[in-house]
Structure 1
């Protein structure tokens, strides 16, 4: 059943994403008056639910797609970076656990996700997002600071060097008001990335879909990092996300909190610093609050990594599936 829904979702996702106010499309349980039902549906995520009378005919989402119900769900307006942080998490930690401030020396600050192992050489590495450790235009070997620069990190706070990252592809605009134009018009309804702060230098521009926003850094000394994540502990592996799964995260800005998986296999547009828009596929949407600086946090279920958080709103977080992150970066937890 799930595979059939994913096929239907993929068949219609391009046309759905062109509709005004639509942010993403995935698979999840249908909700009635904010209460989850047992009916699987194609979930259409919008900035704000509007009455049919306020929509143009071309922007109305069909009630069914190939016999499968659709469900339009409001994902909420995204807040700008918030200066309220958990003070201990922006201080210098040695050894540094997951859940504290980190960032590229020319960037801002995000979250140190977790210590991982390189599959090829067995090196211990630090996992976080591309836009936290590499800002998509860095050089391998660049300094990574803990705490990150936005939190006062200086040259003497270097903890690692950039080791590997997955370049991001950004969407190409078209004269005919393509998806990227629409995204620019309603930029403040998309997910603001943590730690961007005008530091992005895109190295790819295309309509290619992204699957991960991920990078790893090599510690200057292995003893400078800890295996555990603050308030969560030591992880024991990777687990695939399931609808309704209870998860938790530990981030630089909002600390430790819990939520549940709301949508899987989601294709959605993500705005990077309101300048570029990237299309991501196969993402996980979690009903769990996050704010600027939480990017790079691990989404965890029962001590197993489920995803890597990279975007979010007041009520939701979006993460890359952990198995895709691990396979793409050639790492193990």
Structure 2
């Protein structure tokens, strides 16, 4: 059986060959038997479809050197027809309980700008100031530092500029077309702290975060479109192509070391962008930002990455921030689990500050 360290080494070999495998949209690591560690580790290839033209270009295994022996091991390859992955701005209204206006705003409900809707992921804080954590493409209308009004509900759910304004874009991580992307994240600052409450729809209180989680972990979340849903971590350390269409002129861009969460029912639909995956104990684990066309695949990143990037913690009613529960030492030693960002990785994710006011001479309506 292959170890996860050996699977990571094999994944690096395949990433270099990606261009020679047309139809492959993502490469990660997971369980060889798809369920648990008994079968060892494997590479997981995500493809546009299961046609022979695509699968014949995908290897059945990758040969790498053993970690501590002068021998080689064959790392198996699982091929999963996920289809292409897309970010999920809401394009049409849906009949769910999380589309309506709510004050104070809590996690799990529709939020956005006048041009679209996503999901309020978490209420976070720093130094007593509260913020909404969601995706860049949910809170930022065009991936730039220009002024963007935050409304609740979002524009696809009847939210209107001015009348439903709760704040504005505060900080974000710029998405890049020809560079490595790790997170699609942004913060909105409210016009008043009283507009945000540190609660999560249906679930209640979020006591903190997990600093790492493993393959096979069952997670739950509430999204604007899919509502309360459960999924299982299928792969981690997944490099994957995500289409942003016309948003910010990005087209299709690549993300590194993402988490793929799968279910037999839709868990990542248009409007679910920004929703945060929780453990059974309600600790925040990952941030959803994209998915497959059928909604059964969620592309997410560890929530700890966003908290590291913005220097915030999960907000609590007392004004303090929530605690984390996973030991960082354990995460560093286990390649079957996600990890917090290293100092070097964090330095490569600079956050940008958004304009506090609409600049004169600009149109006063969002596209």
Same fold, judged at TM 0.5 (above): yes
Contact residue 241 and residue 284 of structure 1 kept, 8 A: no
Q: How far did residue 259 of structure 1 move?
A: 1.3
Question: Is 1:124 aligned with 2:130?
Answer: yes
Contact residue 248 and residue 258 of structure 1 kept, 8 A: yes
- Which residue number in structure 2 is paired with residue 322 of structure 1? 303
Quote the Cα distance in structure 1 between the aligned partners of 2:45 and 2:309: 28
SS in 2 for 1:90: coil
Counterpart selection for 1:159 from 151, 158, 166? 166
Output aligned runs, 1:138-149, within 5 Å.
138-139=144-145, 141-149=147-155
Question: Is 1:285 aligned with 2:260?
Answer: yes
- Which residue number in structure 2 is paired with residue 90 of structure 1? 99
Counterpart selection for 2:209 from 227, 238, 241? 238
Taking a change above 3 Å as real, the CA distance of residues 8 and 109 of structure 1, as seen in their structure-2 partners, is same
Taking a change above 3 Å as real, the CA distance of residues 254 and 84 of structure 1, as seen in their structure-2 partners, is farther
Structure 1 stretches lacking a partner, 5+ long = 171-205
- Which residue number in structure 1 is paired with residue 335 of structure 2? none
Quote the Cα distance in structure 2 between the aligned partners of 1:232 and 1:218: 23
Counterpart selection for 2:113 from 104, 116, 123? 104
Structure 2 stretches lacking a partner, 5+ long = 65-73, 315-367
Output aligned runs, 1:13-162, within 5 Å.
13-16=15-18, 18-31=20-33, 38-51=39-52, 54-55=53-54, 59-66=57-64, 67-76=74-83, 83=92, 85-105=94-114, 107-118=115-126, 121-139=127-145, 141-154=147-160, 155-162=162-169
**Of the two, which has the highest radius of gyration?**
2
Greater mean deviation of Cα atoms: 79-88 or 159-168: 79-88
Quote the Cα distance in structure 2 between the aligned partners of 1:49 and 1:83: 30
Q: How far did residue 48 of structure 1 move?
A: 1.3
The RMSD of aligned alpha carbons is 2.4
TM-score, structure 2 as length reference: 0.73
Q: How far did residue 89 of structure 1 move?
A: 1.4
- Which residue number in structure 2 is paired with residue 250 of structure 1? 222
Quote the Cα distance in structure 1 between the aligned partners of 2:188 and 2:171: 7
Greater mean deviation of Cα atoms: 161-170 or 219-228: 219-228
Taking a change above 3 Å as real, the CA distance of residues 17 and 94 of structure 1, as seen in their structure-2 partners, is farther
Quote the Cα distance in structure 2 between the aligned partners of 1:87 and 1:13: 40
Q: How far did residue 92 of structure 1 move?
A: 0.9
Taking a change above 3 Å as real, the CA distance of residues 226 and 122 of structure 1, as seen in their structure-2 partners, is closer
Contact residue 101 and residue 151 of structure 1 kept, 8 A: yes
Question: Is 1:224 aligned with 2:195?
Answer: yes
Quote the Cα distance in structure 2 between the aligned partners of 1:324 and 1:283: 11
Q: How far did residue 71 of structure 1 move?
A: 1.2
Counterpart selection for 1:9 from 4, 11, 16? 11
Greater mean deviation of Cα atoms: 13-22 or 250-259: 13-22
